[in-house]
Amino acid sequence: MSTYVVVGLQYGDEGKGKITDVLSAKSDYVVRFQGGDNAGHTVYVGDEKFVLHLLPSGVLQCKGKCIIANGVVVNPKSFIREIEQLESKGMNTDHVFISRRAHVIMPYHILLDTYREEEKGGTEIGTTKKGIGPCYEDKIARVGIRMVDLLNPEILREKIEKNLRVKNSLFEKYFEKPTLDIDEIYNEFVEIGKKLQDRIVDTELELNEAIRDNKNILFEGAQALMLDIDFGTYPFVTSSSPSTGGVCAGAGVPPTSLQNLIGVAKAYTTRVGNGPFPTELDNELGEKIRQIGGEFGATTGRPRRTGWLDLVSLKHATMINGINNLVITKLDVLSGISPLKIATKYKTEDGKIIDYFTSSTTKLYDYEPIYEELEGWDENISTARTYDDLPENAKKYIEFIENYLGINVYLVSVGPERSQNIIRKELF
Ligand code: GDP
Ligand code: IMO
Ligand code: MG
């Protein structure tokens, strides 16, 4: 048995999609276990760009099966759109399946997400407006609609009716917006059920069998630990558990089956959406990193906020996830910037020096990062393929991270293309 979990360690967009794509060539299964189409995972194959939102990035290379497991919230219209896009490029998608237990993002979830954000006027989370939060709320409130319900028209109608009674009243009375029509939604989702019926299966059974049969299984995280509903910068987070721990509940596999826990971090930090960001560079250098790194959201197109690497938050993220293999991406983006700063501690509002990540989100705005400075390098490193190809200062940067976190960097990514990697240890 070999299982691999790829999770983000910062605020998302670390390059999880690229790493999943690389690892999926040798995987029998690639599995999404949380989140939904709020994700944007970019993979470059040569010059061709693929952005996957809901489908596992493994869909491009995995010869086995790609699974959207029970912990994911599925917008079936996005699913169909992505499948059609891949098929229009001549790719086969018969190997993509969705759990019967996965919850469905309904049109009212998207509207609720949108109206709530609009209402906050200035204090909004900056969600992707994909309905993620409202869908998870209904799951926990036990009123959600699951993929299996799409195959059962009578039950589906009953559930939509019950939900619309509450949601329409909110739309009309609280938000002063138009209400939704039951027949329209019901007819559309019955048709979707018919279209997807062969792909809606009991994924947990097959995954556990695969574990017993010693298959290679890759679990692909979306979002990241600093957006985790429990351990991120609440309430500026997403509504799922994008941690390695999230895999067990999100895919129905036991904790004892998880082996290689791979954490992906950028060589600097980015964040899209609102919330505290202690090492943010709201200046010319931040703009330079945004331009060189192409830091614009893959899902919403929003400019990503940029900043220095933050080892205090990374330590928190590696601890919660139990990471045993690190990946550092986008090291190439830092070429030509010197000195490079890395936050190793925070100074609190009352002058205390701490080296752990606080649970008090509001206080974080007043914390001052304490930096170590490292000398940069000028060389273009995008063609480096072995560790020794890297300039000494780039190696020192990597080794500084390893020493602080006490975890080895097994892969350094030096460009967006699938082959632009320095692999220091083969995991497969
Ligand atoms: P994900 O959400 O974690 O999969 O990451 P995104 O795809 O949203 O954002 C990462 C962006 O960085 C994408 O545009 C990738 O093509 C790009 N990328 C990934 N790794 C590297 C790298 O090592 N160097 C550079 N320059 N770009 C990279
Ligand atoms: P990937 O998988 C970066 C952010 C949103 C917002 C917050 C809540 O590409 O790394 P949501 O729509 O989930 O309710 O929004 O989380 N967010 C992401 N930021 N990458 C992502 O996914 C994200 N998914 C959600 O910007 O701040
Ligand atoms: Mg992304």
Closest atom of ligand 1 to 42 CA is 7
Q: Whose CA is nearest to atom 14 of ligand 1?
A: 42
pLDDT of amino acid 230: 98
13 lines ligand 1 (CB under 6 A): yes
Active site annotation includes 53:
no
Which pLDDT band holds residue 31 (cuts at 50, 70, 90)?
Answer: very high
Whether the model pTM is above 0.95: yes
pLDDT at 428 over 80: no
pLDDT of amino acid 123: 84
pLDDT tens sequence across 294-311: 999 888 889 999 999 999
pLDDT at 84 over 90: yes
Indicate the range of 103-107, 189-193, 363-367 predicted with least confidence.
363-367
Which pLDDT band holds residue 383 (cuts at 50, 70, 90)?
Answer: very high
128 lines ligand 2 (CB under 6 A): yes
Which of 16, 19, 20, 42 has most ligand 1 atoms within 8 Å of its beta carbon, as the pocket-test mutant? 42
Q: What is the mean pLDDT of residues 239-258?
A: 98
Number of the ligand closest to the Cα of 238: 2
Q: What is the mean pLDDT of residues 374-388?
A: 98
Q: What is the mean pLDDT of residues 234-261?
A: 98
Structure tokens at 346: 């925070």
Q: What is the mean pLDDT of residues 174-188?
A: 98
pLDDT tens sequence across 32-46: 999 999 999 999 999
pLDDT at 107 over 80: yes
pLDDT at 1 over 70: no
58 lines ligand 1 (CB under 6 A): no
Q: What is the mean pLDDT of residues 49-76?
A: 96
**% pLDDT > 70, the chain:** 100
pLDDT tens sequence across 207-239: 999 999 999 999 999 999 999 999 999 999 999
296 lines ligand 1 (CB under 6 A): no
Which of 18, 21, 37 has most ligand 1 atoms within 8 Å of its beta carbon, as the pocket-test mutant? 18
Closest atom of ligand 1 to 49 CA is 16
Q: What is the mean pLDDT of residues 251-271?
A: 98
pLDDT of amino acid 35: 98
Active site annotation includes 13:
yes
pLDDT at 135 over 90: yes
Q: Please, what are the domains in the chain?
A: 2-100+202-423 (3.90.170.10), 103-198 (1.10.300.10)
Q: What is the mean pLDDT of residues 246-264?
A: 98
Find all residues with CB under 8 Å of 365, minimum gap 6, and list them: 276
The active-site residue out of 21, 37, 41, 53 is 41
Residue 72 to residue 5: CA distance in whole angstroms = 15
pLDDT at 146 over 70: yes
Q: Are 279 and 310 in contact (CB under 8 A)?
A: yes
421 lines ligand 1 (CB under 6 A): no
Query: What spacing in Å lies between the alpha carbon of 14 and ligand 3's midpoint?
Result: 7
